[in-house]
Structures are given as C-alpha cells and as structure tokens.
Structure 1
C-alpha cells in the first residue's frame, strides 16, 4: 500500500506500508531473531562431549544467548521511538550474523573442539544472542501500525507466532546435526538468518510518522498527516524519563520478579530440557530435542496466547496466582519423579503454567504502572528475561555438587521461585481488592 500526501510547498510525499505488512514483518523479524534462544541447548550434548564441560560451564554455554538478548531489550526498545524499528532490528541481525559466522568458522575449521575453544564459543553465543532482543523492537514497531482497539489481537499474534521459534529450532537442530554434522547445521542456520534478515530489510516499512520524520517535516505535521492515514499511537519524546519513572515505582519491581520466574524461567528451561532429557533419562539427541521443543517450548508459547484470554476474563492477579501454583506443582513433579511418565507430566504442567503466567504478568503492567507503561514494559521484559541467563548455570552448579541426581534436584530452585512468585502475585491481588 502506498499513499501520496503533500508537504507545505505541494511536493508529493510518498508513504508506503500497511498494518498487515507491519505485523507480518515485525513478527518475521522477531521469529528469526528469537530462534537464537535455542542456539546451544539442543546441541549441548555434542558440545559437552567434545569439550568435557562441567555442569556450570554447560549451563553458562546454553544460557549465553539469553544475556545479551535480555539486556539489549531496554536500549533497543527505546531506540525504536526515535526512528522506527527497521534500523534497530537490522542492527541486531548484523550482530547475530557476526556471532553465527564466527561460530561456523570455528566448527568448520577445527578438527575437534577442545576446552581451550570454550571461551570463543561462549563469546560467539553472546553475539548470536543479540537477535533475542528483537522482541522489544518488534512490539512498538507493530503497535504503531494499529489502532487501540486492535492492539490486543495484533500483539497476541506477534508474540504467539514469534515465540514458536525456539521450540521449532529445538526440534529441528538435532536432526540437522545427524544429517550435516555440527558445522553444517550451524552453516544452514547462518544462511537462514542471512536470508531472513534480507527479506526483512527489503519489505519492512516503519509506521507513517517515522517515514514523515525522515522527510524533514516538523513533528506536529508528521503526526497530523500520520493521524489522517489512520495511525493512533505515537512515540513518546521522553523514553528514558518513562524508564526512570517506572523504576521509581515499587510495583514495577514486583512485576520484574514475576516475569523473572515466568519468562526467564521459560527461556532457561527451553535450553535446559534437552540437556535434562539427554543426561538424566539417557535419551538420544533427537528424542531429547523433541521433548524439549514440543513438550515444553512450543506448548508454553501456545499457552501464552490462551493465557491472554484467561487473564482478560479473570484478571491478571488471579491468573498469576493460579499459574504460578501450576509452576510449583510441575517443578515438584520433576524434582521427585521416579519415572519417565512422571517427569513428562511435570514438564507439561510447568509448560502450560509458565505460558499462562507470561500473559498474566503483561496484563498487569499497564494496570499498575499506567503513567509509564513503556518504561515498565522495558524493565519487566528486559530484566525479567535475565532469568534465562542466570538459571541454567545455577542448575549446572547443582549437578557439579551432587552428580547426575542434580538434574532432578535442580528443579527445587523452581519450587522456591514459584513460592516467591505466588507470594508476590497474592500481594498484587490484595492491593487490587483494596483499590
């Protein structure tokens, strides 16, 4: 779609793009970038065998992409409000491509991986994980294309489809390794990322107000013209002020704590379950990847969509309390499981519960921090997601301490986190009842 408008001296100004294209490309960008969550998890067994990694080193390796992917969410999300989402997203892809290319070079040129290569592989994991931050770029990029009454549907579609990427890659990567080897598999991933970034670069258009800004028009004129074309939401001029305002509100930190357990926990278990199934239950890499990808990551992603509907009907606070109780139940099952069936039941319960909890937490953000929604979303999304980096190494330490039984005992950490999250969610529910 293209629209011709005129500036003050009558020169035609050509605007391009549409809400459907904005949603499609925003979701596509999120999908190809967010896949890096599963960069090392499905292949952990191969890296561990070749480099003889301890539990801590293995946990740090599979978690590496989550660190950069979490911390970069805040500055890159803020960058969108200055000039649109296209350049920030392409910058993240560029950093990811450097990391993936470096990893492929190491895997293709070395006859065998040794412990001495571990720091290099770790650094390339940090770089490749930059694409995980695409979430915070895509949210405002999509939002600015849609009116208020269509935000829920647009962002639900965006989040639901984009969140499928880690689960799908967890499923696919072990089969790719069996067919093409470790180096060939990551080379295929590099090609996919390059093609995906090219498609995004060619077809993505920023919302009208950003296109008009690049034409040098005054801000008010840009907004007036964009408003005539149907744009309702506009970027705030003081993004960092909103972050500061949100940080001063103690409720923002309560929401960060909840999201640390739900989404940070989701990221951590996405990369940890393939390790758990392979080493605790001695399953082959393909089966472990299938159980981790389909039984946890994909299920949790789908349940996040359903969780939005549930939270709309019953309220974010009640939904959070019940869903974190489910996380507690699933973690207990996994910690004490005496059979494969019990462990699988625990995984399914924790997947469903975490997916619903993720939706419940973000339902609460605009309610409790209404004066700084963008800032609160940045803090909650960015800092909460750091759980994906912190938890896997912690689980690895348990294994180093008690041996293979630590793969089960590590889930007691999720029991403790779930209890804490329930307490915080109950506090929110009580404050809501008093309001």
Structure 2
C-alpha cells in the first residue's frame, strides 16, 4: 500500500509528512484535517464531551484511595501513618507507569476503542474497594494491589488527551484541552466531596450490604458507616460512559508505530516540558492525594480538629477551576507567560505554607489552607498553559506523544509526594519542591517566554 505526501508541519524540519494508510472500519474517519475551515466542529465537541465525562470518572477512580484512607482505621484496619502514606501513594506510582503504556495507544487503537475499553476497566478497582473495606482483616498487600489498580484512572489520561487533541485546530487546543483536563481534574474534588456524604447511609442497590462498624470514633461519625459505597456508587456511571464512547465516538486516522513515536525523546524540548508539567500537574496531583492526610497529621491532634475529608476537596476544586478558566487566556496570550506566572505563584505559595507546617494552635489552620489553595490555584494555571504550549512547540503527532509522556511522568506526583512525606519532615519536603519550582520558572522564561526565546509559545 502506498502513502501520499502532504505539506510539512512545524517541527518536522521542513520534510513532507507521509499520510497514514487508510484504516478500515466504520469507526475510522476517512480523512480529518482540523486546520481546514470546513472541519466538523460538532464531531470534535461531541468527542470532547464524551471523553471529558469519562476522564472525570477516571480521576474519581484514581483518587478514590485518598478519600477512603483517612477512614480505614476508624473501621478497624489499624494502619500506621507510613502505611497510609504508601497506600495513597500507590495510585500515583501505577498512574505514572500506566501512562507510559497509554501514551502509545491513540494511534494504535483509535479514540473509540481506547476510551470505551479504558473506561470499562475502571470497574475493577471500584468494585474491589467496595468489597475490601467490608472486612477489616483484608491484608495490607491486597489494599496495596487495589490502590495500584486505581492507577488505571490516572493512566488513561495519557491516551485520552492526545486522542482528543487530534480533533481540534491548534488555535482552539488551549480551550479544548483546558476544558477536558480541567473538568477531568474535577473528579478529584468530586470523589473527596461525595465520599464523606455517601458513606453515611445505605444506597439504593447496595442496601443489602451491611454497614461497617466504627471502632475508632471520630468527629462527625456515628456507630456505623457504609464505606463500601465509596467505590460502588460510581460503577453505573462508568458503565454508562463506556457505552456512550462505544456508540458515539469516531477515530482519527493518525497512525504511527512504536519506533516512530519514540522520536520525541531526541528533542530537548520534550525534557524541558516534562519538568514544567511535573511542576504543575505533578504538584497538583501530589498535593491532592496527600491533602487530607496532611490535615489529619498536622492538625489532627488539636481539640475540635478539622475533619480532613471536609477540606481535602477544596484544593483540587480550585486547581481544576483555574485550569478550565485559563484555557481561553492561554489561547489569547500564549501559554509560556502563564507558565512563568504559575511557577512564581507556586514558589511563593509553597514558601508561605512552610510557616504553618509545625502549628502550635488550631488557629494556624486557616493560614495553612490559604497557602495550599494558593499552590493549587497556580498549579491549575500552569496545567492549562503547558498544554497550550506543547501543540505550539511540536507538530501534531509529536505533540500528542509529548502530551502523553509529560502527563505520564507528572502522574508520579502522588507517589513521590507520598514517599517523600513518609520519609522526611514536611518542612524539608516543601522547601525542596519550592526550589524545584523556582528552577522551572527559569526554564520557562529562558526557552519560551522571553523576547527572542528559542520556541515562543
């Protein structure tokens, strides 16, 4: 089979690009060029809507453990502080590893199969946790394995985002990817907000399952809770998302084998953008996974201590909202300058928060929360701006690969933050990340934001 040549794209060194062979099956579009003014906007926005819905469910699954872990000891599990940190870190390790697989799948499977199958896999950890928490003698290794399976929800991001980017022209990718990633990130807040509510009563469909007895009372808890609801309540929504994707999505004929996709690693800007996205999403996901445990461990010994599950959702909510809101601003002003703003804000907010990590009274809690919300807010801005930069720096196929790769590495955030907080003091941990944030500001300014930058974006 022969392939046609089309004009060169930015980032290809001026060489013509081979058109991929025709893909067979009704799901595959015969041709797709979003840079053409006649592109099918309805199909693009339908794809964005369905994949964003499913990505939200994926993030709910990925951060399920962060909402369950603070309650495990209340129902008799008896886990140490270190074990709890490791448990909430495991989905981050899995998410990062699995993103290294999912990043290669969009050109191989196509959007329809990729989104449908990936979404259906979320049932495994959701059902698994619904079963495991019913018995406080469930071995810790089983809990770790279920936490690892939750990483599927993090892994799919590196498939969904590049796949969606194929459907939109570069001028609209800031908005499109900002909406998808930002609304998807809301899944973190959804699970941390809903879980404290749904564990308080029997749900229709799970009423036959008895509640878990509370053996270690805590503020706001009765004698029993339905902690198994935390996973089971989302299963019907996941099944619906998989069905929607299977029947309503199409696939763009972008095709590349593994060897062709590896060419992104010969480009230094892949590595620079990896560092920048680790600054933004790595910190967002890391702090989101640990925020509840940080509140419990730093402020939980005071009388009338705050309920961590009633505060943990605020950080991801602020960061996700910022990511959505800044998509249009990044399209208008460019992503690079906002990445610089993000890094400066994250550095300052992190240093501010350091002063409230060794509290002497509960009155300091409001300053700790304010500092953390600042970190989340500026991380959200950076999450939007970096995803605007990548399609501008790289040609379309490479941009998809770079988005997948950088997302994979940044997904290790929950794991790195979990083992870091379990290994060193919170103060040293925060200061170390503040230094990293400041270094990333220098990279963003020098290569992308300053006048005469190598790749203005």
The TM-score, its normalising length taken from structure 2, stands at 0.75
1:428 aligns with 2:453: no
Q: 425-434 or 335-344, which moves further after superposition?
A: 425-434
1:255 aligns with 2:273: yes
1:413 aligns with 2:438: no
Residue 126 of structure 1 deviates from its aligned partner by 0.7
Alignment partner of 1:359 out of 374, 379, 384 = 384
Alignment partner of 1:290 out of 310, 314, 322 = 310
Match of 2:325 in 1: 306
Unaligned runs of 5+ in 2: 1-25, 30-41, 203-210, 214-224
Residue 413 of structure 1 deviates from its aligned partner by 3.0
3-state SS, counterpart of residue 405 of structure 2: helix
* 1:153-302 aligned within 5 A: 153-179=175-201, 185=226, 187-205=228-246, 210=251, 234-282=252-300, 287-294=307-314, 296-302=315-321
d(CA) in 1 for partners of 2:93, 2:336: 28
Match of 2:208 in 1: none
Give yes or no for contact 1:163–1:301 (8 Å, CA) kept in 2.
yes
3-state SS, counterpart of residue 40 of structure 1: helix
Give yes or no for contact 1:176–1:185 (8 Å, CA) kept in 2.
yes
Match of 2:395 in 1: 370
1:122 aligns with 2:152: no
Match of 1:221 in 2: none
Residue 324 of structure 1 deviates from its aligned partner by 1.0
Give yes or no for contact 1:96–1:130 (8 Å, CA) kept in 2.
yes
1:42 aligns with 2:67: yes
Change (3 A) 1:192 1:85: farther
> CA-to-partner distance for each residue in 1:281-324, whole Å, 9 max, x for gaps?
12889842232212x10100010122333333443332222211
> CA-to-partner distance for each residue in 1:103-135, whole Å, 9 max, x for gaps?
322222x2x347xx2111010111122122232
d(CA) in 1 for partners of 2:91, 2:271: 24
d(CA) in 2 for partners of 1:190, 1:99: 8
d(CA) in 1 for partners of 2:421, 2:200: 27
> CA-to-partner distance for each residue in 1:27-50, whole Å, 9 max, x for gaps?
111111111232121233223564
The TM-score, its normalising length taken from structure 1, stands at 0.79
Change (3 A) 1:126 1:90: farther
d(CA) in 2 for partners of 1:354, 1:14: 36
Residue 255 of structure 1 deviates from its aligned partner by 0.8
1:88 aligns with 2:106: no
Give yes or no for contact 1:42–1:285 (8 Å, CA) kept in 2.
no
Match of 1:401 in 2: none
d(CA) in 2 for partners of 1:252, 1:15: 29
3-state SS, counterpart of residue 313 of structure 2: helix
Change (3 A) 1:191 1:101: closer
1:30 aligns with 2:48: no
d(CA) in 1 for partners of 2:121, 2:249: 27
More helix as a share of residues: 1
Give yes or no for contact 1:261–1:387 (8 Å, CA) kept in 2.
no
Residue 143 of structure 1 deviates from its aligned partner by 4.1
Residue 418 of structure 1 deviates from its aligned partner by 1.4
Change (3 A) 1:367 1:70: same
d(CA) in 2 for partners of 1:375, 1:409: 34
Figure out how many residues of one structure are paired with residues of the other and give that number: 388
> CA-to-partner distance for each residue in 1:350-386, whole Å, 9 max, x for gaps?
1111101111222221233337212211211111222
Change (3 A) 1:185 1:18: farther
